[in-house]
């Protein structure tokens, strides 16, 4: 019997933690929380300063890196490296459960929040990339196209590349299930306990807390706005704390129940409600119009994908500000989620192939996201354009973006039923995102243990909830966006290195890919490659 068993839960907690990652990760996050209570102005000014610096110097890098990751994942889906498997065991979960967990844990809470809202902003102020007047009929298609671009392939790609890199090396070379393992080909397996790897894991903890707290803040504000808009209940700052506390309690319970009893079951429920609400919106809304506009928007997204991906706004009046406020923010937000999402995707991907994970990560999930934004967002824009509903206060910034869903569903028959379903979906999607992310942070701070202690999980759940509450109180949506950019931008380079490491390792161990007879095939294997039965190590001669 181990000392951890003798000492009970506290003993297990002390025995399992990685002291460096836990103390520095917790210290960095808790330090910001403590500083807020000591000097709120210092925290506000610090967030604003860091946010400005990230946008000024790293915006181009985020756009380029995310674009390259998308191309690499498409290549993995279509190319021969897709056959590579994660370990020798059969898949742990059915494909349906695998998909629903990956989707729910990834970014589904953001999908629900921005579904009825985002296209309205692009309708009123289209991207400067397109020569379209705001509020015009032409702006409707561009609005849906831009929304689909932001929520289909690119955001999903950064989660998936981290999941692929972490999962492949964890199950094939027995390295720990943690973020730094994605850099195994770069650092070498023998250096995963070194200072660089520890720094990556500490930053992963901090980025995850920042990114998920951003989502908790969005969802909390939407829930509070729904109470105020529909029933006139104004909770104030105390209400924010109460709502965040309630949500923290819900996702902590789900997390303690574990993947099988908690996350998997709730994820399956989420997707059923998600599809039901989406189909009901399609039926009640302008169905024929939605099919037409969706077809045009998808075609436009494919045609303009490269230009939209690399649009920095340089040389266009207001272009840089627009790109930073939308595309760069979304990529940074996704990148701040990439450490936890990568660990969680790796956790549920044992036994699957590279192609299955890559396809599910960017293609299958896009298949769920595109109709949601087309039906819900398209209906909102159609309602605004035709005077069926008035979103003018939201577009003008006089009302928060979080009330758009309630304005939309209020215009529907049985509108109250739609709003209640919407609030349930918002809450449950966040719970699955938050419990899986907190589980991932717990795994990061225990050196990669798949089943961290309950004390560890609860600690990080409380930290996550407090961070979200503080961000909501000090600056609302703007502070949440700033936090996501600050924590996510540095991880663009980790994702880039993970992609390069995978390409380097697959080429060395599975043969280089060459174009032969108009098809990609694995060519002759290089003479020097890492043996399959030993961990890959960095080779300076490569």
136-172 pLDDT, tens digit per residue, is 999 999 999 999 999 988 988 999 999 999 999 999 9
Give the CA-trace dihedral at 461, 462, 468, 473, to 10 degrees.
170
Helix axes 287-303, 137-151, angle to 10 degrees: 60
CB 318 within 8 A of CB 311: no
Q: What is the dihedral of CA 460, 466, 467, 471, to 10 degrees?
A: 160
User: Residues 217-252: pLDDT tens digits?
Assistant: 766 666 677 667 666 666 666 766 777 777 777 766
Q: Which of 199, 201, 156, 486 is nearest to 338 (CA)?
A: 156
CA 326 to the chain's CA centroid: 15
Residue 47 pLDDT class (50, 70, 90 cuts): confident
Q: Is a pLDDT exceeding 80 seen at residue 430?
A: no
| Span 350-404, pLDDT tens digits | 999 999 999 999 999 999 999 999 999 999 999 999 999 999 988 987 777 778 8
- Calculate mean pLDDT across residues 331-358: 90
- pLDDT at residue 158 in the model: 93
The predicted structure's pLDDT at residue 539: 44
CA neighbours closer than 13 Å in the CB half-sphere of residue 435: 29
- Partners of 469 in the β-ladder: none
Nearest to 110 by CA among 465, 369, 396, 393: 369
**pTM, two decimal places:** 0.83
Cα 107 from Cα 152, distance rounded (Å): 11
Burial of 368 by CB count in 10 Å (0-12 exposed, 13-18 middle, 19+ buried)? middle
Phi, psi for 412 (deg, rounded to 5): -85, 155
β-sheet bridge partners, residue 353: 85
Lowest mean pLDDT among 86-95, 382-391, 470-479, 514-523: 514-523
Domains with residue ranges and CATH for the chain: 3-522 (1.20.1740)
- Closest by CA to 145, choosing from 306, 325, 373, is 373
Per the prediction, the chain carries an average pLDDT of 82
Per-residue buried b or exposed e for 301-325, using 16+ beta carbons within 10 Å of the residue's own CB: beebbeebbebbbeeeeebbebbbb
Question: 115: helix, coil or strand?
Answer: coil
Triad 476, 479, 480: Cα angle to 5°: 85
Band (255; pLDDT cuts 50, 70, 90): low
């Amino acid at each position: 019997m181990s000392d951890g068993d003798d000492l009970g839960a506290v003993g297990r907690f002390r025995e399992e933690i990685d002291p460096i990652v836990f103390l520095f990760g917790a210290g960095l996050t808790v330090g910001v929380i403590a500083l807020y209570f000591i000097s709120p102005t210092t925290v506000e000014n610090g967030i604003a300063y860091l946010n400005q610096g990230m946008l000024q110097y790293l915006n181009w890098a985020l756009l380029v890196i995310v674009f390259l990751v998308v191309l690499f994942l498409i290549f993995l889906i279509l190319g021969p490296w897709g056959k590579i498997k994660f370990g020798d065991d059969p898949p742990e979960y059915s494909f349906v459960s695998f998909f629903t967990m990956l989707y729910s844990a990834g970014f589904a809470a953001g999908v629900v929040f921005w579904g009825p809202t985002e296209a309205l902003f692009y309708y009123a102020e289209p991207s400067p990339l397109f020569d379209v007047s705001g509020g015009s009929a032409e702006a409707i298609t561009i609005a849906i196209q831009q929304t689909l671009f932001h929520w289909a392939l690119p955001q999903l790609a950064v989660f998936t590349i981290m999941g692929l890199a972490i999962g492949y090396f964890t199950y094939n070379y027995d390295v720990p299930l943690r973020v730094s393992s994605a850099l195994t080909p770069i650092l070498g397996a023998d250096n995963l306990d070194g200072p660089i790897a520890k720094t990556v894991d500490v930053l992963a903890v901090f980025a995850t807390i920042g990114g998920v707290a951003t989502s908790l803040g969005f969802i909390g504000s939407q829930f509070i706005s729904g109470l105020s808009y529909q029933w006139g209940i104004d909770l104030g700052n105390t209400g924010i704390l109460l709502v965040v506390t309630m949500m923290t309690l819900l996702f902590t319970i789900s997390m303690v129940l574990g993947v099988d009893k908690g996350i998997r079951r709730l994820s399956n429920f989420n997707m059923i409600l998600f599809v039901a609400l989406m189909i009901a919106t399609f039926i009640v809304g302008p169905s024929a119009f939605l099919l037409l506009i969706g077809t045009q928007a998808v075609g436009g997204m494919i045609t303009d994908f490269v230009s939209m991906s690399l649009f920095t706004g340089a040389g266009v009046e207001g272009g840089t500000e627009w790109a930073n406020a939308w595309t760069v923010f979304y990529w940074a937000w996704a990148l701040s989620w990439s450490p936890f999402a990568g660990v969680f995707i790796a956790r549920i991907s044992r036994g699957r192939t590279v192609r299955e994970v890559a396809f599910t990560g960017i293609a299958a999930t896009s298949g769920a996201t595109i109709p949601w934004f087309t039906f819900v967002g398209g209906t909102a824009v159609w309602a605004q354009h035709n005077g069926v509903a008035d979103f003018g206060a939201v577009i003008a910034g006089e009302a928060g973006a979080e009330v758009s869903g309630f304005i939309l569903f209020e215009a529907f028959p049985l509108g109250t039923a739609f709003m209640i379903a919407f609030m349930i979906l918002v809450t449950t999607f966040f719970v699955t995102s938050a419990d899986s992310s907190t589980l991932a942070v717990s795994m990061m701070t225990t050196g990669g243990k798949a089943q961290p202690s309950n004390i560890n999980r609860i600690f990080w759940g409380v930290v996550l909830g407090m961070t979200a509450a503080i961000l909501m109180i000090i600056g609302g949506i703007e502070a949440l966006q700033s936090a996501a950019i600050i924590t996510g931008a540095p991880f663009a380079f980790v994702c880039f290195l993970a992609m390069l490491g995978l390409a380097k390792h697959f080429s060395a161990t599975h043969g280089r890919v060459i174009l032969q007879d108009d098809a990609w095939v694995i060519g002759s294997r290089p003479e020097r490659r890492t043996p399959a039965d030993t961990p890959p190590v960095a080779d300076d001669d490569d």
